[in-house]
């Protein structure tokens, strides 16, 4: 028996097997049942989320000998041929390589003839957005008034490139990304059926790498089994998936948290020497800081992290004593640098500067902290009697009394006029030990940052 890749072996043969995409499946099943199908559909969504699968299922539902039915028999000739993509009445056209006006003219001619073996002709055009403008125009008329026994399914990964005139003549379904947990359970099912031994961590690694595409997940598993056989070890997987050495990431976060800006250049050198693309490394660093933030902020992180236990322990240790605000600040700055790094003509220098800046964060007091400190000082000075020296207290009481008299609308006499306070209240407040201490620390921080910059 010939070997079938998982993506083909596990292609759903009925609507019930489709993972996610409930809104699409439900609507189509109802439309088939109530005989209210549109003649043109657009299936939009990223790669490997079920567009072709659902298109074939719809074709099967229409052409099954017992059809149209939302539950095709799976036994008849039509069902079998369509499942394999071999039915002559279900045309699968690649829009990327048949994108010209002549191709569309041929197609228009072809659909004038009745279907050969089935009741309906179903035309599935993949990567539909790749058609040329004249080809789109040539298709418009057909979509408006298609032959009665013909259905169009236009699949695209880039809906925004399909002209509005076409979109308005079709019913559009947007296929969603497959969720991480759905991919995990699908992979668990395949590995169970195929008796493949793989750790939970390994499955999560694959699911994460697939980024919402079920076909990508299946292909990665294929690749892993081809590499390791039926026992897929975590180490092999990391190699196949090009997962970065976590050690290097830990060294980066340590350098940043400790403010060791001088070490940055060596570290970046090591990244480059190991052959990692800096943009790729940067995105891994973002994920790493995100994980650190999750660990620092939450107690239960079970479903949020794709890390093995030793890595989680290591992270816990690293964020001990680091405030989540500080991790968040780093994460923000890293993310803000993404665009710049992508377009920089000197990505290495750009990346180095970015990391050095992160190191200096430790030495700069966040503005929020400064505001908080100031607030605290203000509250203290407000709530407390100003600490005038004993000798001046009489003066102050005098002022209070004078104001009261003035409030009572009695004409102030020269006697009542508040006597000027000799010692300036502001100067006094600044000499408060707390305030002085604050100003000194603030000054020291600024100095140390300046010094740090000079040293580099």
Ligand X SMILES: Nc1ncnc2c1ncn2[C@@H]1O[C@H](COP(=O)(O)OP(=O)(O)O)[C@@H](O)[C@H]1O
Residue among 15, 32, 48, 210 that touches ligand X (CB under 6 A): 48
How far from the centroid of its chain's Cα atoms is residue 409's Cα?
A: 67
Question: Any contact of residue 19 with ligand X (CB under 6 A)?
Answer: yes
Binding partner of residue 337 among Zn ion, Mg ion, ligand X, none, CB cut-off 5 to 8 Å per kind: none
Answer yes or no whether residue 18 interacts with ligand X by CB under 6 A: yes
Residue 303 φ then ψ, to 5°: -90, 5
* Part in contact with Zn ion (CB under 5 A); list of ranges 65-73, 94-102, 380-388, 439-447: 65-73
Asked if 52 is part of the footprint of Mg ion (rule: CB under 5 A), the reply reads: yes
- Of 40, 41, 42, 50, which one interacts with ligand X (CB under 6 A)? 50
Query: Which is nearer to ligand X, 12 or 418 (by Cβ)?
Result: 12
CB of 324 to ligand X, least distance (A): 37
Within residues 74-103, the interface with Zn ion by CB under 5 A covers 76, 79
DSSP H or E stretch at residue 292: helix 278-297
Q: Give Rg (Cα) of the chain.
A: 35
* DSSP-assigned states of every residue in 407-444: HTTPPPPTTTSPPPPSS-HHHHHHTSHHHHHHHHHHHH
Q: CB of residue 63 vs Zn ion: minimum separation in angstroms?
A: 8
- Residue 53 contact among Zn ion, Mg ion, ligand X, none, beta carbon within 5 to 8 Å by kind: ligand X
Residue 303's CB is within 10 A of a number of other CB atoms, namely: 10
Q: Does 73 bind Zn ion (CB under 5 A)?
A: yes
CB 46 within 8 A of CB 213: yes
Sign for the pseudo-dihedral over CA of 26, 29, 34, 39? positive
Q: What's the full length of the chain, in residues?
A: 456
> In the bound complex, what is the minimum distance in angstroms from residue 9's beta carbon to ligand X?
8
Does 72 sit near ligand X (CB under 6 A)? no
Query: Where does this chain touch Mg ion (CB under 5 A) — which range of 52-60, 96-104, 224-232, 267-275?
Result: 52-60
| 5 in contact with Zn ion (CB under 5 A) | no
Interface with Zn ion, residue 119, by CB under 5 A: no
What is the CB neighbour count within 10 angstroms for residue 255? 20
Rounded to 10 deg, the angle between the 347-361 and 324-343 helix axes is 160
* Contact call for residues 159 and 129 (beta carbons, < 8 A): yes
79 binds, among Zn ion, ligand X, Mg ion, none (CB under 5 to 8 A by kind): Zn ion
Among candidate residues 104, 154, 152, the one with its CA nearest the CA of residue 128? 154
- Gap between the Cα atoms of 337 and 305, Å rounded: 24
Task: Choose which of 11, 60, 209, 362 interacts with ligand X (CB under 6 A).
Answer: 11
- Of 146-205, binders to ligand X (CB under 6 A) are 155, 178
Determine the size of the site formed for Zn ion (CB under 5 A): 5
* Tokens matching residue 22: 């409930």
d(CA 377, CA 337): 36
Binding site for Zn ion (CB under 5 A): 64, 72-73, 76, 79
Binding site for ligand X (CB under 6 A): 7-8, 10-12, 18-21, 47-53, 155, 178, 214-215, 218
Binding site for Mg ion (CB under 5 A): 51-52
């Amino acid at each position: 028996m010939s070997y079938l890749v998982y993506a083909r072996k596990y292609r759903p043969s009925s609507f019930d097997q489709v993972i996610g995409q409930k809104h699409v499946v439900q609507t189509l099943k109802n439309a088939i049942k109530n005989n209210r199908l549109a003649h043109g559909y657009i299936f939009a969504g990223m790669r490997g989320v079920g567009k072709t699968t659902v298109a074939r299922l719809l074709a099967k539902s229409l052409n099954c000998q017992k059809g149209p039915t939302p539950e095709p028999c799976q036994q008849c000739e039509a069902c079998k041929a369509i499942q394999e993509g071999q039915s002559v009445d279900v045309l699968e056209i690649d829009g990327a390589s048949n994108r010209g006006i002549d191709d569309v003219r041929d197609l228009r001619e072809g659909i004038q003839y009745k279907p050969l073996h089935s009741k309906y002709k179903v035309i599935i055009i993949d990567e539909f957005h790749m058609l040329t403008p004249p080809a789109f125009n040539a298709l418009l008329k057909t979509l408006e008034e298609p032959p009665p026994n013909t259905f169009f399914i236009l699949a695209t990964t880039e809906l925004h490139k399909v002209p509005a005139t076409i979109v308005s003549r079709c019913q559009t379904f947007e296929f969603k990304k497959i969720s991480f947990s759905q991919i995990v359970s699908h992979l668990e099912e395949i590995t169970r059926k195929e008796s493949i031994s793989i750790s939970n961590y390994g499955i999560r690694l694959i699911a994460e790498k697939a980024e919402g595409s079920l076909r990508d997940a299946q292909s990665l598993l294929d690749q892993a089994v081809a590499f390791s056989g039926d026992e897929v070890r975590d180490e092999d997987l990391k190699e196949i998936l090009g997962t970065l050495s976590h050690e290097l990431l830990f060294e980066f976060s340590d350098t940043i948290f400790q403010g060791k800006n001088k070490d940055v250049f060596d570290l970046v050198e090591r990244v480059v020497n190991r052959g990692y693309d800096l943009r790729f490394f940067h995105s891994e660093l973002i994920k790493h800081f995100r994980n650190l933030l999750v660990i620092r902020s939450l107690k239960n992180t079970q479903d949020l992290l794709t890390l093995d236990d030793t890595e989680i322990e290591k992270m816990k240790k690293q964020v001990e004593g680091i405030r989540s605000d500080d991790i968040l600040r780093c994460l923000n700055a890293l993310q803000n640098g993404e665009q710049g790094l992508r377009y920089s003509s000197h990505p290495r220098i750009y990346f180095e500067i970015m990391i050095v800046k992160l190191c200096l964060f430790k030495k700069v007091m966040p503005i929020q902290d400064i505001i908080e400190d100031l607030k605290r000082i203000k509250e203290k000075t407000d709530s407390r009697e100003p600490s005038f020296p004993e000798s001046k207290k009489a003066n102050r009481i005098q002022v209070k009394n004078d104001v009261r008299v003035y409030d009572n609308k009695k004409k102030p006499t020269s006697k009542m006029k508040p006597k000027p306070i000799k010692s300036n209240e502001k100067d006094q407040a600044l000499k408060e030990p707390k305030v002085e201490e604050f100003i000194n620390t603030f000054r020291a921080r600024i100095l140390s940052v300046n010094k740090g910059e000079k040293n580099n």
